[in-house]
Amino acid sequence: MIYDQILVRYGEISTKGRNRGLFVDKLRENVQYVLRDFPGIKIKANRDRMYITLNGEKLDEVCTRLKNVFGIQSFSPVVRVNKDMELIKESSLKLFQKLHAQGKTFKVQARRADKEFPYHSDEMNNLLGGHLLQNIEGLTVDVHHPDLELKVEVRKDAVYLTCEVIKGAGGLPVGSSGKAMLMLSGGIDSPVAGYMAMRRGLLLEGVHFYSPPFTSERSKQKVIDLGKKLAGVNGQFILHIVPFTEIQQLIYEKVHENYAMTIMRRMMLRITDEIRERQEGLAIVTGESLGQVASQTLDSMFTINEVTNTPIIRPLISMDKTDIIKIAEDIDTLEISNRPYEDCCTIFTPAQPKTKPKRDKANQYETHFDFEPLLQKAVNHIETIKLSSQEENQQNVFADLF
Amino acid sequence: MIYFDNSATTKPKKEVLDTFYKVAENYFGNPSSVHHLGLQAENLLSQARNQIATLLKTDEQEIIFTSGGTEGNNFIIKGVAEKYRNRGHHMITTMIEHPSVLNTCIQLENNGFDVTYLPVDETGRVRVEDVKRALRKDTILVSIMHVNNEIGSVQPIAKIGELLKNHPKTLFHVDHVQGVTKVPLDFHESNVDFASISSHKFHGLKGTGAIYIRKGLKLAPLLAGGGQERGFRSGTENLAGIVAMAKALRLGMLDYEAKIDTMMDVRDFLINELQLIEGVTMNTPKQNTSPHIINFSVQGFKAEVLVHELEQHGLYVSTTSACSSRTNEPSRTILAMGLGEERATTSIRISLSFDNTMEEAKQAVAIIKQSIKNLKPVMRG
């Protein structure tokens, strides 16, 4: 193995003055969680950097997991050396030999964070560059477009050598901004909205409305699979599945077809808000994008939103569908979302839903029946599932078959 | 009985048969049915796909189930020919491929394609420079096996993959049927676009296999129908066989971790001992060879006769590959290596599994020595 440690550079956290400790703790917790099945790993986080000591664990796999963790600007596999110029020279040479540097171009970029170190950056660049040139055949210097860039960081505790910078997911550590409920239908938009909200540090729990026999078990499975993808961000995702059949049927019995969709949305929002309160969240996240469908016109939002004053976060509100699809592709949810099963939004779609529903009319329709007990009943019969991104940690009924 | 014909087929593992039986009995629903039984079957199918994809270090979307190696190779080569024929009509393969590749290429030649069959060196390996030289502007596919089924030579797949990086319009297919669980190959790292595997070569069941298709690539389907396997391969999925394959692959890779050293010791022992027998010449090269195949010729002994004699003593081996031995042809690979007609018609193949032991190897050597002695008067007469 070439590298023994991974150096993690924080993203925006670095700028968060007094809250910094909290952010760093959150990030360390999240990193610890996604790497929980690598027993050898040791994580040390200080104010500026996080160091993950591999202790023989597989570098590639650790890197793949880290790429998804929000709050990381970039990271680099590193070699840690004691602060001795001869050792630094020797390790740089070893690193270059292992990276097959013969015939390639390179440059050295030293940074001396610890100003007490006797050599300053330029001296180190020269010394190390010279040492490498002397000992590796065909190696040449190119300061503009080098094949290999050796970064040398002199810090208080040690010197860190690295040749690669891997881009992280950016954003803020999940959970550092608090908790919210994500309304998850199974379509393309809601998982993307969830992903973007998590990127800004929200810890999300999903809420899905399930109406058997009008929606199939497969549509539920679809949402579970989407939840697993979202769990990839910080290792787990909690999903609340709300039995919605009874309410949905009643709405279609009592409410004029044109307003059924609006009323249904209001009911969903009320239920989600109730779950939010029980789970101690402070916001609701939806995949709404302005004007995309009838329920997402400004008039509709105005009427639907009337039922709560909880902040509703709509990360996709001003995005075009094509851009949303692109993100869905990147986060690997598109294929799942595209599975062709009826969900709670597509079923019962009236031929002509109102695109400009009014608050007073909606309120009037809602006096036609007593929905409060039904909402309570639905909330009390929620099925809550803890999803994990790693299959093997889950209860698996088929386990003995594999 | 000493079974040394594992490249022809392997004995299914007990655990694999258990899985097959349980799935066939309890999860008989059609994965495409909308009801609960269908969903259950579909979940099993996707779990099997996930497991196989993870073991092969690929993405789930890159695995398509087939009926085995022959279908896989046909599907990929014909699928590329059909899908990318507007790009060009030239393909490159080698003279030592399995018949399911060679004969597919011959079919395509009759269909207006131009195929270059590359020679191999005396160790049974294709030269990367030869591949480079054969590449043309209209080359749409290079199809090269990973491990040769007759003599066990391992082809320089990673180097060829590296070469083809500079030819983005030329796709790269690897027949990995003999290699899987014995000689690791990372498809992504080696720049492989398509690969085929077959379950019964690693203690799974006949009639199940899979192909790897790099994400984003297309392939014209061989079978039209209900659009299973995302339209790539229609036909109701052989769920029991597929789940059994997922288990067989997992166990096979565990075996690799635990027993690869033993397998190599057994191989080295066999090579060293057999070489000492008068009239025996090794066809399997010393380097770049798989841990499970040993091919040798016995001068003056018609291979088939020797196989039957060995069988009398409970030792099961092959003449060349099982697929070609029926037609009694000389070994194509040995001919291509330039070792001559005599070596090619007298060649015997031993192929090991992770379950074979040193004890069996010792017995086998004794049986081979005795059989050669028994037959000598007849053969030389």
pLDDT more than 70, % of chain B = 97
CA distance A255 to chain B (A): 30
Over residues B247-269, mean pLDDT:
97
B323 noted as active-site residue: yes
A195 pLDDT more than 80: yes
Provide the pLDDT confidence category of residue B92 given band limits of 50, 70 and 90.
very high
Element (H, E) at B324: helix B322-325
Residue A392 pLDDT grade (very low, low, confident, very high; cuts 50, 70, 90): very low
User: Which of A216, A218, A402 is the closest to B47 by Cβ?
Assistant: A402
- Provide the residue type at A317 as one letter: I
> Residue B266 and residue B280: Cα distance in Å, rounded?
18
Mean pLDDT, to the nearest integer, of A94-119? 88
Nearest CA in chain A to B245: A402
pLDDT of residue B368: 96
- CB atoms A221 and B50 under 8 Å: no
Q: What mean pLDDT comes out for the span B293-303?
A: 93
Q: At what angle do helices A245-254 and A372-380 cross, to 10 degrees?
A: 160
Q: pLDDT of A245-265, one tens digit each?
A: 999 989 988 998 889 889 999
Q: A179-388 has which fold?
A: Rossmann fold (3.40.50)
Contacts of residues A16-19 at CB distance under 8 Å and 24 or more positions apart, as own/partner, are none
Closest CB to B22: pick one of A217, A396, A401: A401
Separation between Cα atoms, residue A288 and residue A293, nearest integer Å: 9
Q: Is it the case that residue A298 has pLDDT exceeding 50?
A: yes
Cα distance between residue A362 and residue A359, in whole Å: 5
**Average pLDDT taken over every residue of chain B:** 94
How far is Cα A157 from Cα A268, in angstroms, rounded to an integer? 55
> pLDDT-derived band of residue B321, with 50, 70 and 90 as boundaries?
low
- Can you tell me the distance from the alpha carbon of A139 to that of A221, in angstroms, rounded to the nearest whole number? 55
Listed in order, the ranges of chain A carrying CATH 3.30.2130.30 are 5-167
**All domains of chain B in start order, with CATH:** 2-8+259-379 (3.90.1150.10), 14-250 (3.40.640.10)
Q: Cα distance from A87 to chain B (closest Cα, Å)? A: 33
Measured between CA atoms, how close is A402 to chain B, in angstroms? 5
Q: How confident is the model at residue B328 (pLDDT cuts 50, 70, 90)?
A: low
Spatial distance between the Cα atoms of A326 and A331, rounded to a whole number of angstroms = 9
- Looking at residue A46, what is its pLDDT? 87
Beta carbons of A391 and B47 less than 8 Å apart: yes
Closest CB to B34 among A216, A396, A401: A216
Which chain B residues contact residue A218 at CB under 8 A? 34, 39, 42
Question: Which residues belong to CATH 3.40.50.620 in chain A?
Answer: 179-388
Q: Pick from A335, A391, A401: which is nearest to B50 by CB?
A: A391
Surface of A (363-392) touching B: CB under 8 A: 391
Q: Which of B145-159, B268-282, B328-342 has the least mean pLDDT?
A: B328-342
- Per-residue pLDDT reduced to its tens digit, B108-141: 999 999 999 999 999 999 999 999 999 999 999 9
Residues 6+ apart with CB under 8 A from A349: A261
Tell me which of B47, B62, B188 to substitute to probe the interface with A (most A C-beta atoms closer than 10 Å): B47
Provide the shortest C-alpha distance from residue B57 to chain A (in Å): 11
Q: Would the CB atoms of A401 and B51 count as touching at under 8 Å?
A: no
Asked if residue B323 has pLDDT above 60, the reply is: no
Instruction: Check whether A345 has a pLDDT greater than 70.
Output: no
Chain centroid to Cα A122, Å, comes to: 40
Question: Does B243 sit within 8 Å of A401, measured CB to CB?
Answer: yes
Give which of B17, B19, B249 to mutate to test A binding, by max A Cβ within 10 Å.
B19
Q: Inform me whether the pLDDT recorded for A204 exceeds 70.
A: yes
pLDDT of residue A355: 80
pLDDT category at A340 given cuts 50, 70, 90 is: confident
- In Å, how far is B52's CA from the nearest CA of chain A? 10
Tell me the CB-side half-sphere exposure of residue B250, using CA atoms within 13 A.
21
**Per-residue model confidence (pLDDT) at position A346:** 62
Residue A396: predicted pLDDT: 67
Chain B residue closest in CA terms to A398: B44
Q: Tally Cβ neighbours within 10 Å of residue A212.
A: 12
pTM: 0.78
Assess A218–B contact: CB distance below 8 Å, yes or no. yes
Minimal-distance CA residue of chain B relative to A392: B51
DSSP assignment of A200-260 equals: BTEEEEEEEEE-TTTS-HHHHHHHHHHHHHHHHHHSEEEEEEEE-HHHHHHHHHHS-HHHH
Cα–Cα distance between B167 and B139 in angstroms, integer? 9
Question: CATH fold of A5-167, please?
Answer: VC0802-like (3.30.2130)
Return the pLDDT at A393.
42
Residue numbers belonging to the annotated binding site of A for ATP: 183-184, 208-209, 265, 287, 296
| Residue A353 to residue A358: CA distance in whole angstroms | 13
Contact state of A216 with B243 under an 8 Å Cβ cutoff: no
Compute the average pLDDT of residues A132-145.
90
List CB contacts (< 8 A) between A214 and chain B. none
Residue A316 identity: L
Which of B17, B128, B323, B335 is labelled catalytic?
B323
Which pLDDT value is given to residue A4? 87
Q: At CB < 8 A and 24+ separation, what contacts does B322-330 make?
A: B322/B5, B322/B7, B322/B8, B322/B9, B323/B98, B323/B99, B323/B100, B323/B149, B324/B99, B324/B150, B328/B304
Of B34, B43, B51, the CB nearest to A402: B51
A127 burial type by CB count under 10 A (0-12 exposed, 13-18 middle, 19+ buried): middle
Q: Letter for the amino acid at A17?
A: G
Which residues in A lie closer than 8 A to residue B23 (C-beta atoms)? 401
pLDDT the model gives residue B151: 95
